[in-house]
Structure 1
Amino acid sequence: MNAKFITLDGIDGAGKSTNLAVMQNWFEQRRLPVLFTREPGGTPLGEALREILLNPATRAGLRSETLMMFAARCQHIEEVIAPALARGVHVVSDRFTDATFAYQGGGRGVPAADIATLEHWVQGGLQPDLTILLDVPLEVSMARIAETREKDRFEQETADFFTRVREAYLQRAAAAPERYALIDSNRERAAVSLSIEHALDTLFA
């Protein structure tokens, strides 16, 4: 079986951290080799850029922010993702390029064509085999963030920003339904887990 590249994405507060554990358990039960990683991050360079990008004190223009995202991603692919896939190890990444189209594109207003140019340059033909997209209403997302953690640079954005981010995610999922598993994560945890497990079962069938 060829190694699969899977991404988990969604707006802040959609439940990615909780459901990464569901995915880890799924792979453990089947004894499949897997590497879990994250964006921005996954490498020393990526983690350093993550600190800059998420720091509320950071002041970065639209292009600078987008380029930093892709700089982290380029290193991530070269150092972590591509070597793992070549070894036959499945890769699960907490966020990938969909997040850039959603946050920098939908949220910030960076033209999608500019992001697509960087995507092609950095990724070549690499695309996820499956993107599990967790979706919740904006008010649920905001409540979860407020209850669980101190807000980072992106989480401090306005409700209008996150409305645009969510819409961008949903538009991408609607445009390529064969790649996305769109999951309503505003449900009981067990129901969300079953949906994620079903998406993985289908991919590996």
Structure 2
Amino acid sequence: MVDTFITFEGPDGAGKTSVLTALIPQLAAHLTRPVHLTREPGGAQISEKIRELILDPENTAMDARTEALLYAASRRQHLREVIVPALDAGEVVVCDRFVDSSVAYQGAGRQIGEQAVLEMNQFATDGIQPGLTLYLDVPSEIGLARIAAHRTSRQFDRLDQESLAFHQRVRAAYLRLAQQEPERIHTIDATQPMAQVVADCLATLQHFLTDSWQSR
């Protein structure tokens, strides 16, 4: 595990993008190290091209294992081109999604096997793991309702087309991962008001990044 590598996870509708938009400036103001925000799938030129393939709502014929392999390929390129160089430069890397997403969405949601997807990604990442993962938890029904309410102001992708049962399997997998790895994965109640979610995330990060934290 890499202490300066931090990931954010959550089911659809958890509000990760909004939380990170509000959180990153506050985090950067408190750290003695630069903060590098990135995302998956994507984050690097090749990885962004793979993202377009994966999320294109017209690609309805994509096989579940093809999807999982594309996520792993995107992740590998992103890791080698962006994440590892930033970590080597002494930066705190904050990544919107990482391996846990593949385990939850492809392993459980697509039902192709959580362990199989994990092993595929261990190969892709050389076993590199974040030191801390903040999991923003929200019931599937609430998350999907949020997506429906903001349909005109956000990208609609292939995963948004999936059933409630799919999203419930994804959330259940995330909860299992959090139970299995409580030292790494910290659960944040994402049903709270946005300001409180951001505050809870910042408090968790302060505790974890003590050596790089400075009071303002």
Shorter-normalised TM range: over 0.9
Q: 1:70-111: CA deviations, max 9, x gaps? A: 000000000000111011011111100100000001100111
Q: Does the Cα contact within 8 Å between 2:140 and 2:167 map onto a contact in 1? A: yes
**Equivalent in the alignment of 2:47:** 46
Mapped pair 1:188 → 2:193: yes
Q: CA RMSD in A?
A: 1.3
**Equivalent in the alignment of 2:107:** 105
Quote how far apart the aligned CAs of 1:137 are: 1.4
**What is the alpha-carbon distance in structure 2 between the residues aligned to residue 126 and residue 48 of structure 1?**
23
Show the 5 A alignment for 1:24-173.
24-31=24-31, 32-58=33-59, 59-149=61-151, 151-173=156-178
Q: Does the Cα contact within 8 Å between 1:3 and 1:88 map onto a contact in 2? A: no
Q: Does the Cα contact within 8 Å between 2:104 and 2:114 map onto a contact in 1? A: no
Deviates more, 1:26-35 or 1:138-147: 26-35
Q: Does the Cα contact within 8 Å between 2:107 and 2:116 map onto a contact in 1? A: no
**What is the alpha-carbon distance in structure 2 between the residues aligned to residue 71 and residue 125 of structure 1?**
14
**Equivalent in the alignment of 1:6:** 6
Deviates more, 1:147-156 or 1:170-179: 147-156
Q: Does the Cα contact within 8 Å between 1:16 and 1:94 map onto a contact in 2? A: yes
**What is the alpha-carbon distance in structure 2 between the residues aligned to residue 3 and residue 192 of structure 1?**
22
**What is the alpha-carbon distance in structure 2 between the residues aligned to residue 126 and residue 60 of structure 1?**
28
**What is the alpha-carbon distance in structure 1 between the residues aligned to residue 67 and residue 150 of structure 2?**
26
**What is the alpha-carbon distance in structure 1 between the residues aligned to residue 143 and residue 122 of structure 2?**
31
Q: Does the Cα contact within 8 Å between 2:133 and 2:186 map onto a contact in 1? A: yes
**What is the alpha-carbon distance in structure 2 between the residues aligned to residue 26 and residue 170 of structure 1?**
28
Deviates more, 1:119-128 or 1:171-180: 119-128
Q: Does the Cα contact within 8 Å between 1:62 and 1:108 map onto a contact in 2? A: yes
Which SS does the other structure have where 2:187 is aligned? strand
Deviates more, 1:152-161 or 1:3-12: 3-12
The residue type equivalent to 1:152 in the other structure is: D
Quote how far apart the aligned CAs of 1:181 are: 1.2
User: Where do 4+ consecutive residues of structure 1 move more than 4 Å?
Assistant: none
Quote how far apart the aligned CAs of 1:3 are: 6.1
State the aligned residue count.
204
**What is the alpha-carbon distance in structure 2 between the residues aligned to residue 113 and residue 161 of structure 1?**
18
Q: 1:103-124: CA deviations, max 9, x gaps? A: 0011001112321221221112
Gaps of 5+ in 2: 211-216
